[in-house]
Amino acid sequence: MRHIREIIIAPIFTEKASTQLGKHNSYSFRVSTIANKIEIKRAIEKIFSVVVTDVNTINMRGKVKRVGRHQGKKADWKKAIVTLKEGHSIPDFEV
């Protein structure tokens, strides 16, 4: 089993994540590409002491970037949208 800090990489603070997902008591995180929904749920519950009802994951493709005539690609990554039980929240995410 992986350590919880290897599963959850960072929270995602964007306008969409804070306004639209906040209405549904949902939060978004950048997670390990090899993590599954069960591991993500257990890690969030252990780190923030909340009850998770649903986990949705999205594999994000890295964008192609250019600097002058050199071209490269950003790394692929995985995003998780976590929905919490009614009455639970993560206070550090409140705007």
Please give the pLDDT value at position 94: 63
In a domain, 94, yes or no: no
In a domain, 23, yes or no: yes
Residue 91 lies in a domain: no
Count of structural domains within the chain: 1
User: What pLDDT does residue 84 have?
Assistant: 94
Task: Indicate which CATH number applies to the domain containing 29.
Answer: 3.30.70.330
94 or 92, higher pLDDT: 92
Q: Which two tokens stand for residue 88?
A: 């639970």
- Work out the pLDDT band at 95, boundaries 50, 70, 90: low
| Domain that residue 39 falls in | 4-85
Q: Which residues contact 95 (CB under 8 A, 6 or more apart)?
A: 18, 22
Cα separation, 8 vs 10, in Å, equals 6
Q: Tens of pLDDT along 53-73? A: 999 999 999 999 999 999 999
* Full-model pTM: 0.87
In a domain, 92, yes or no: no
